Amino acid sequence: MLDALIRIAKSAGDVILDLYARQDVGVSLKGDGSPVTLADAAAEAVILRALAEQFPDIPVISEEAAEAGELPDVGDRFFLVDPLDGTKEFISRNGEFTVNIALVEDGQPCVGVVYAPALGVIYAGAGGAARTSVLDADGAFGPWTPLEAGRPSAAGLRVVASRSHMGAETADYLARFDVSDLLSAGSSLKLCKVASGEADLYPRLGRTMAWDIAAGDAVLRAAGGMVRCLEGQPFSYRLSRVPGDSAFANPWFVASGAFDPASLERATA
């Protein structure tokens, strides 16, 4: 399945790049005020068609379809798709947008692919093994490099935070730790930076949706890291986790490398 999802993500990325080259990418606003482009819909169509052909028995929850009210019944096994995560990054043309495809089983993301087409890099994880690759001159993925989430050094935590959503709550949370570096990144690339060992911690104290992070979460877990709710319990993708919000809304969370952030907080409090 992982190889198939890699191919599907690459196909969606090709469609996105075709539209990325245009001057007018067809920006409009959704009901919640967030932007959407022609590339969101085009990439979603590619992914949904391919998943239906190759995995017809597995329901799919995809961002644009879900927000249009197209919500199939899901059991304990389903795909979560964000066809273009980081639409603001796409519009600003900084390259930090991704295609996210994840398989969720029993509330856990067990297979995930995150592809950044403008950067030419892909991250994939399943079965306790994570890897990354970059596109070569022929437009194919080159040799795969294993990913391993790291541990913080004595110098302090390397923290990656949202380029678009760094708020006061996040700053207050980080004040509990010894932070040596604060990195900024868009989309689910933040989770992948933790998975690759480039960052130790990614706190997200704000609203996100399941399709925003499931693929990156799968990569991180396969690399030996973890996503936890802010209170410390393991993160789950079962429905209706935030009272009064959408069934697919996420609670606040903290993603970390191969360590428990709470242990460092206690040591530095």
Instruction: For residue 87, say whether it is annotated as part of any ligand binding site.
Output: yes
39 pLDDT exceeds 50? Answer: yes
Residue 268, pLDDT score = 44
In angstroms, the CA 251 to CA 254 distance is 10
Residue 168, pLDDT score = 87
> Can you tell me the mean pLDDT for 28-44?
85
Residues 6+ apart with CB under 8 A from 195: 123, 125, 130, 147, 149, 216, 219, 220, 222, 223, 225
> Can you tell me the mean pLDDT for 226-255?
94
In angstroms, the CA 235 to CA 217 distance is 9
What average pLDDT does the chain have? 93
Residue 269, pLDDT score = 43
Distances (CA, A) of 41 to 59, 64, 82, 120, 144: 18, 7, 10, 21, 30
In angstroms, the CA 229 to CA 90 distance is 28
| Greater model confidence, 167 or 174 | 174
Residue type, 2: L
267 pLDDT exceeds 70? Answer: no
| Greater model confidence, 110 or 269 | 110
> Can you tell me the mean pLDDT for 167-194?
92
Its CATH architecture, for the domain 2-147, is 2-Layer Sandwich (3.30)
CATH node for 157-268? 3.40.190.80
Burial class (CB in 10 A: 0-12, 13-18, 19+), 127: exposed
pTM for this entry: 0.94
> Can you tell me the mean pLDDT for 194-213?
96
Q: What is the DSSP string of 143-196?
A: --EEE-----BTTBEEEEEESS---HHHHHHHTTS-EEEEEEE-TTHHHHHHHT
| Greater model confidence, 147 or 73 | 147
Instruction: For residue 257, say whether it is annotated as part of any ligand binding site.
Output: no
Q: Which of 255, 8, 224 is nearest to 122 (CA)?
A: 8
Beta-sheet pairing, 108-116 with 121-126 = antiparallel
In the chain, what percentage of residues exceed pLDDT 70? 96
Beta-sheet pairing, 28-29 with 35-36 = antiparallel
Residue 266's pLDDT band (boundaries 50, 70, 90)?
low
Distances (CA, A) of 211 to 65, 123, 182, 249: 12, 16, 25, 9
Residue 36, pLDDT score = 85
Residue 73's pLDDT band (boundaries 50, 70, 90)?
confident
Instruction: For residue 182, say whether it is annotated as part of any ligand binding site.
Output: no
Residue 166's pLDDT band (boundaries 50, 70, 90)?
low
Residue 162, pLDDT score = 75
Residue 163's pLDDT band (boundaries 50, 70, 90)?
low
Residue 116's pLDDT band (boundaries 50, 70, 90)?
very high
Distances (CA, A) of 101 to 43, 61, 62, 229: 12, 10, 9, 22
In angstroms, the CA 159 to CA 98 distance is 20
Could you state, in order of their start, the residue ranges of all structural domains in the chain? 2-147, 157-268
Instruction: For residue 86, say whether it is annotated as part of any ligand binding site.
Output: yes
